[in-house]
């Protein structure tokens, strides 16, 4: 159902008070997205508060069934249940929805888009476009230009996921629990299932007893196949929470169809969109969350031959990307930019 969207659209942000909601507004500002009107939508308890955008204070409105009249693009980041209820209403009102939840990602008629990889899928939308899982985006954006030149047959990912992936409340829990730990005070975690300060634990999503994989890992596997348009690629993932405020890291090993060298990979990454090579062997300087935080590009380094594969077809590398930006808000705004071209 693609229809022409105004070059200066009315944009609604659903979940405006959340961590990703704030980044939506920053990305729209920093990328000079031509918004004619911005509507900030959230729960009733946030209604009446204000947020700064375009040099003005915008009053946050309560999200209701009538919120989308006159809206051209609606960006959702308020959780799957909200998306399932309100995204169809937004579409019915004439808006194109860009949804950051997992509610629609694996629907056959919903494009799952990383613009650097499959921007052409945007034109196939029927009212809803899905933003992929943050870990999937950060892993596969640097891998796509390799895949185009030398097909990746197998992919093994281990994630080191920051608090930002669990939202603003988890980020605050990390701050407060760290403060309490350093001061020798007891702290009761309420947002995440395990103590977060100075601790590492398996991603806090439900584990499928049949496979042993948690929901986050299953998303990475399924979404990679859909975005790459390749159901035969073999993917395994282990997703872990680490005590970092924002910017996920991922250790990745790929097996290609043909032999490939680290220098070939470095040359590909140097010119690939949305990524930046950070691979200083001499200084032992590689991608880190402190450098990726606040950056649009995904940092890529530690590029080396996987010595466990004598065929020479396998490469290991390490990446870091801002979960709130390329892993969420930036990717959505890039999709919106394609909609108004």
Give the CATH number of the domain where residue 61 resides.
3.40.50.720
* CA 89-93-99 angle, 5° bins: 55
Does some domain include residue 34?
yes
Closest CA to 67 of 31, 42, 84: 42
Task: Check whether residue 124 and residue 185 sit in a common domain.
Answer: no
Task: Check whether residue 252 and residue 213 sit in a common domain.
Answer: yes
Task: Check whether residue 128 and residue 221 sit in a common domain.
Answer: no
pLDDT digit string (tens) for 97-135?
A: 999 999 999 999 999 999 999 999 999 999 999 999 999
Q: Which band of pLDDT confidence, cut at 50, 70 and 90, is reported for residue 3?
A: low
Calculate the CA 338 to chain-centre distance: 18
Per the CB < 8 A criterion, the answer to whether 241 and 200 are in contact is: yes
Query: Is residue 311 scored above 90 in pLDDT?
Result: yes
pLDDT digit string (tens) for 19-58?
A: 999 999 999 999 999 999 999 999 999 999 999 998 899 9
Does the global pTM surpass 0.75? yes
Catalytic residue list contains 203: no
| Residue given tokens 């919120």 in the structure block | 67
Task: Check whether residue 289 and residue 152 sit in a common domain.
Answer: yes
Q: What are the DSSP calls for 93-120, one per residue?
A: TTPEEEE-SSSSTT-TTS-B--HHHHGG
Query: Is residue 192 scored above 90 in pLDDT?
Result: yes
Task: Give the pLDDT of residue 4.
Answer: 76
pLDDT digit string (tens) for 51-101?
A: 999 889 999 999 999 999 999 999 999 999 999 999 999 999 999 999 999
Task: Give the pLDDT of residue 216.
Answer: 97
| Bridge partners of residue 85, in order along the sequence | none
**3-class DSSP state of 314:** strand
Cα–Cα distance, 37 to 54 (Å, whole number): 10
Expressed as residue numbers, the domain containing 173 is 167-199
Does some domain include residue 4?
no
**3-class DSSP state of 302:** strand
Task: Check whether residue 70 and residue 176 sit in a common domain.
Answer: no
b/e burial code for range 120-142 (CB count within 10 A of at least 16 → b): ebbeebebbbbbbbbbbbbbbbb
Does some domain include residue 1?
no
Does some domain include residue 152?
yes
Q: Which band of pLDDT confidence, cut at 50, 70 and 90, is reported for residue 1?
A: low
pLDDT digit string (tens) for 203-236?
A: 999 999 999 999 999 999 999 999 999 999 999 9
Per the CB < 8 A criterion, the answer to whether 221 and 140 are in contact is: no
pLDDT digit string (tens) for 235-284?
A: 999 999 999 999 999 999 999 999 999 999 999 999 999 999 999 999 99
CA dihedral 293, 291, 194, 105 (to 10 degrees): 50
Cα–Cα distance, 317 to 301 (Å, whole number): 6
Helices (H), the chain: 19-30, 80-92, 115-118, 134-149, 168-182, 215-228, 262-271, 289-292, 330-339
Catalytic residue list contains 134: yes
Task: Give the pLDDT of residue 2.
Answer: 52
**3-class DSSP state of 75:** strand
Task: Give the pLDDT of residue 56.
Answer: 92
Task: Check whether residue 119 and residue 214 sit in a common domain.
Answer: no
Task: Check whether residue 300 and residue 153 sit in a common domain.
Answer: yes
Task: Give the pLDDT of residue 157.
Answer: 98
Contacts of 286-289 spanning 24+ positions with Cβ under 8 A: 286/318, 287/249, 287/318, 287/319, 287/320, 288/249, 288/320, 289/162, 289/244, 289/245, 289/246, 289/247, 289/248, 289/249, 289/320
Task: Check whether residue 42 and residue 104 sit in a common domain.
Answer: yes
Task: Give the pLDDT of residue 65.
Answer: 96
Calculate the CA 231 to chain-centre distance: 21
Task: Check whether residue 125 and residue 187 sit in a common domain.
Answer: no
Task: Check whether residue 80 and residue 63 sit in a common domain.
Answer: yes
Task: Output helix, strand, coil percentages for the chain, rounded to the nearest 5.
Answer: 35, 25, 40
End-to-end CA distance of the chain: 16
Task: Check whether residue 39 and residue 176 sit in a common domain.
Answer: no
Structurally, the chain folds into a number of domains equal to 3
Q: What are the DSSP calls for 196-242, one per residue?
A: -TT--EE-SS-B-TTT--BHHHHHHHHHHHHHHT-TT-EEEEEEEE-
Task: Check whether residue 249 and residue 143 sit in a common domain.
Answer: yes
pLDDT digit string (tens) for 279-295?
A: 999 999 999 999 999 99
Per the CB < 8 A criterion, the answer to whether 33 and 13 are in contact is: no
Does some domain include residue 5?
no
Catalytic residue among 125, 147, 203, 248: 248
Catalytic residue among 27, 125, 134, 147: 134
């Amino acid at each position: 159902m693609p229809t022409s969207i105004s070059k200066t659209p009315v944009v609604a942000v659903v979940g405006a008070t959340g961590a990703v909601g704030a980044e939506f507004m920053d990305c729209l500002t920093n990328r000079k997205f031509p918004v004619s009107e911005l509507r900030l939508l959230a729960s009733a308890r946030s209604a009446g508060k204000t947020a700064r955008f375009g040099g003005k204070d915008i009053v946050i409105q309560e999200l209701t069934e009538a919120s989308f009249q006159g809206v051209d693009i609606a960006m959702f980041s308020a959780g799957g249940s909200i998306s399932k209820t309100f995204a169809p209403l937004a579409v019915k009102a004439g808006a194109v929805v860009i949804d950051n939840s997992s509610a629609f990602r694996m629907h056959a008629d919903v494009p799952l888009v990383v613009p650097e990889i499959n921007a052409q899928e945007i034109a196939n939308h029927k009212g809803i476009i899905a933003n992929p899982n943050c870990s999937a985006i950060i892993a596969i954006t640097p891998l796509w230009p390799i895949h185009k030149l030398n097909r990746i047959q197998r992919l093994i990912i281990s994630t080191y996921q920051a608090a930002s992936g669990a939202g603003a409340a988890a980020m605050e829990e990390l701050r407060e629990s760290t403060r309490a730990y350093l001061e020798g005070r007891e702290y009761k975690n309420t947002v995440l299932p395990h103590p977060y300060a100075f601790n590492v634990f398996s991603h806090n999503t439900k584990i499928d007893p049949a496979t042993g994989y948690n929901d986050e890992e299953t998303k990475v596997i399924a979404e990679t196949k859909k975005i790459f348009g390749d159901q035969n690629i073999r993917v395994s993932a282990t997703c872990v929470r680490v005590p970092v405020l924002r910017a996920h890291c991922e250790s990745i090993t790929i097996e290609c169809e043909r032999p490939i060298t680290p220098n070939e990979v470095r040359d590909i990454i140097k010119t690939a969109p949305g990524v930046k090579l950070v691979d200083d062997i001499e200084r032992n300087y590689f991608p880190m969350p402190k450098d990726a935080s606040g950056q649009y590009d995904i940092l890529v380094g530690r590029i080396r031959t996987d010595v466990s594969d004598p065929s020479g077809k396998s490469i290991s590398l390490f990446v870091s990307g801002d979960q709130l930006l390329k892993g969420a808000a930036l990717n959505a705004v890039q999709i919106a930019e394609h909609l108004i071209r």
